[in-house]
Chains A and B, each alone.
Chain A
Amino acid sequence: MTDEVGCLKAQLEEKDKEIVALKNKLAHLEKSNASVLELYEKVTPLTPLKAKASLSNEDIMRYSRQLLLPELGVQGQLNLSKTSVLVVGCGGLGCPLAQYLAAAGIGRLGLLDYDEVELSNLHRQVLHGEENQDQAKALSAANAVKRLNSTVECIPYHLQLSSENALQLIQHGKPLVSAGALRMEGQLTVYNYRGGPCYRCLYPVPPPSETVTNCSDGGVLGVVPGIMGCFQALEVLKIASGQGSSCSQQLVMFDAQDARFRSIKLRPKQAGCAVCGENPSVTRLVDYEAFCGSAATDKCRKLNLLSRDQRITVQDYKSIIDTAEPHLLLDVRPLVEVDICHLPTSLNIPLSSLEYRKSEHIQLLQESISQLKQQMEGDCRPPVYVICKMGNDSQKAVQVMEKMSGSEVDSITVKDISGGLMAWANRIDPTFPQY
């Protein structure tokens, strides 16, 4: 009798365990199904983020190491859980920023990016993987963040921030934690925070668009935006938890070469500011791209400085090589890019050397042209074809060379190769590297 009771009890215990395991499995499956994220192509109103009354046991365990900090504590953690943050751009800065905000338990993350993941992004945009190429960055980032912390509400926006949608996404009066990173340097400032200056107080006039360099032109070491994105996350977490940021009216500069941070005191909020001053002239959002005279994207623009007869296509150049027509091929990219790849017969003289008539380079050019002239015999204008990466600098170089032709160098016929080496790689030689 007692044996039978004992046996049944053991069996029941066994079944109970099985039920718990099945329930856990079901909950897990339901959770992962529910976390299939929808990509937003436009802004739609969201339900207000609900404030948590208290932390769950799971919350306490997950955030225990930061809950131990008196600077954060339970109240700070609860404050994070009721904060929404919009991350504008899911690139080199946005990836680590979103990652640390999600890890720390921010309530809601809007992840906005118009672009798709490319191989050349992966060295710095660390939420995206090889398998995410061609996927919307916003979605790729949201999925990565969701894997890290499924309790964070993620809203991926596949669009560009514009005067059309900005006020739908951002309520008036929110602080802006802004950073930039290029080459081996980073900068960070918190704007519109506790009576400090806004972006327009500091930069009333946009810079000339040709002075604004992006990562695809200037290059960037991936860890530099990584550090600045982490720094942004730090300031967002301090603001959201209630500790406050100390970067208002401050410019933090990071020099990665010297491993040095510096903080500079900036001007206060300006009474005459067009946006936040006493008599603002900007009372509704303006077309920011028109205001800056520049597209708010990281894509290179195509210049059109030359007439059609001053340009040849890569196909034209291929047949010039095939028919062994005597010519000079001039590559006007900086040396660091020529080291990455170049066509075997090209002469490298960077555009800046042509523009500033660097004597050793001008001499080299004179020699190469007069050699070509001798080789061609007779009274002719030797053809010079100019190439660069995309076909922008090559056009500028043609304009410079036309001024030099007949005076600083022998008379030449100079044309550029439209689309540059990237067009060569795309249409003529698929084995030629692209960057």
Chain B
Amino acid sequence: MAAPVVIHLEFGGGAELLFNGVKDHHVTLPSQPDPWDVKQLLVWIQQNLLKERPELFVQGDSVRPGILVLINDADWELMGELEYQLQDQDNVVFISTLHGG
């Protein structure tokens, strides 16, 4: 069994509006047989945090186009994307891209 994982989730660029406008979430992912990866995290967020319109956040088993995922201040592409195994105290940011001004 993998121990529970405590992580910090952040939503920005408007993505926080899908989470009641709350940008910061400190969450504990419960103990489970395998280590938590980002793919499972997305499912957990949908089931536990997402208040509105899931289609504006996820598409298939990944995030929708236009949302960047950052793990510990780096693009998730550099970290293994959906397969990245979450560590205790990780910081995961979901940021919607802004257009114009």
Contacts and interface: CB of A to CB of B under 8 A. Distances in A.
Interface of A: 89, 91-93, 124, 179-183, 185-187, 202-208, 210-215, 218, 220, 224-225, 228-229, 251, 253, 255, 262-267, 298, 352, 355-356
Interface hub of B13, B51, B65, B98 (most chain A Cβ within 10 A): B98
Contacts of A251: 68, 70, 75, 95
Contacts of B65: 203-208
Contacts of B34: none
Nearest to B73: A264
B2 interface: no
Contacts of A355: 52-53
Interface residues of B, number: 27
B77 to A, nearest CB: 4
A211 B101 contact: no
Contacts of B67: 207
B64 A180 contact: no
A393 to B, nearest CB: 14
Nearest to A89: B100
Contact of A91 (B14, B64, B100): B100
Contacts of A91: 100-101
10 contacts: A89-B100, A93-B101, A180-B99, A182-B13, A185-B14, A208-B64, A210-B56, A264-B73, A298-B100, A356-B52
A224 B100 CA distance: 12
Given A212-B99, A265-B73, A182 B51 contact: no
A359 to B, nearest CB: 14
Interface in B77-93: 77-78, 93
| Majority SS at the chain A contact face | mixed
Given A206-B66, A207-B64, 15 more contacts: A89-B100, A124-B101, A179-B101, A185-B12, A186-B101, A207-B97, A208-B66, A211-B56, A251-B75, A255-B12, A264-B74, A265-B75, A265-B78, A355-B52, A356-B51
A320 B73 CA distance: 57
Interface in B24-72: 51-53, 55-56, 64-68, 70
Contact of B101 (A208, A215, A267): A215
B100 A214 contact: yes
A181 B55 CA distance: 23
Contacts of B93: 264
Interface hub of A185, A204, A206, A356 (most chain B Cβ within 10 A): A185
- Per CB-CB distance, the 10 closest pairs between chain A and chain B, nearest first, are A207-B66, A180-B98, A181-B101, A225-B101, A267-B77, A205-B65, A92-B101, A93-B101, A266-B75, A267-B75
Contacts of A187: 13, 95, 97-98
A224 B98 CA distance: 12
A245 B85 CA distance: 33
Contacts of A202: 68
B66 A186 contact: no
A89 B13 CA distance: 21
Contacts of B68: 202, 251, 266
Contacts of B55: 208
Nearest to A201: B77
A210 B77 CA distance: 25
B91 to A, nearest CB: 11
A162 to B, nearest CB: 16
Given A93-B101, A180-B98, A218 B64 contact: no
Nearest to B68: A251
Contacts of B101: 91-93, 124, 179-182, 186, 215, 220, 224-225, 228-229
A253 B10 CA distance: 13
A185 B64 CA distance: 20
A203 B65 CA distance: 7
Contacts of A298: 100
A366 B74 CA distance: 49
A212 B13 contact: no
